[in-house]
Amino acid sequence: MNEILYHFTSKYHLPLIMKDGFLMLTESNLKEPVPGKKIGNVFDSKDLYKPVVWLSRTADANNCAVMSASVDKSEILITLRERPHYQNWTIWSKENRIKTSWAKRLTGRYNPNSWYVSESVIPLTSDEVIKIENTKTGEVYIDVDAGKLSYS
């Protein structure tokens, strides 16, 4: 397998991720939001429907719908080794009965075939995470191949 996947997050969320020691589950977006009804967020998982960790086959944030987030989730790039339980979003979303009309609106101009999900949290262990870097400044926080294993 030995394939690479990526997870995008914000500079704001990175210290929380590092403190917790894992990438937490967030909304899967399988269900279309109901106008006026709050859908859960990263701090309130009880409202989440089939929560997942979002991943991508590409390191291009412009293909990952992270640009419209309230914080810049294109800033931090986490490079991960692929695991057997990571699932292609296009297949996974159909298996989980996403409405076709909602899927089209959700994916818009993006290439969802490069999207992946994990239904379980992803631990930040050295065998899972390869690199954590800031895409804006070039700062590298963790680089397993270079021997930089701690975040400060």
Residue 151 lies in a domain: no
Q: In what order do the strands lie in the sheet with 87-88?
A: 87-88, 115-118, 53-56, 4-9, 76-81, 129-134, 140-143
As to burial, measured by CB atoms within 10 angstroms (0-12 exposed, 13-18 middle, 19+ buried), residue 35 is exposed
pLDDT given at position 65: 67
The answer to whether residue 152 sits within a structural domain is no
Element at 9 (helix H, strand E): strand 4-9
Eight-class DSSP state of 90: H
Type of residue numbered 65: A
Domain span holding position 62: 4-146
- Looking at residue 117, what is its pLDDT? 95
d(CA 20, CA 104): 34
38 occurs within a structural domain: yes
Say if 116 falls within a structural domain: yes
Amino acid at 35: P
The verdict on residue 138 lying in a domain is: yes
Domain count, the chain: 1
pLDDT tens-digit readout, 28-55: 888 876 665 555 444 444 555 789 999 9
* Segment 91-144, tens digit of pLDDT: 999 999 988 888 888 888 888 899 999 999 999 886 889 999 999 999 999 898
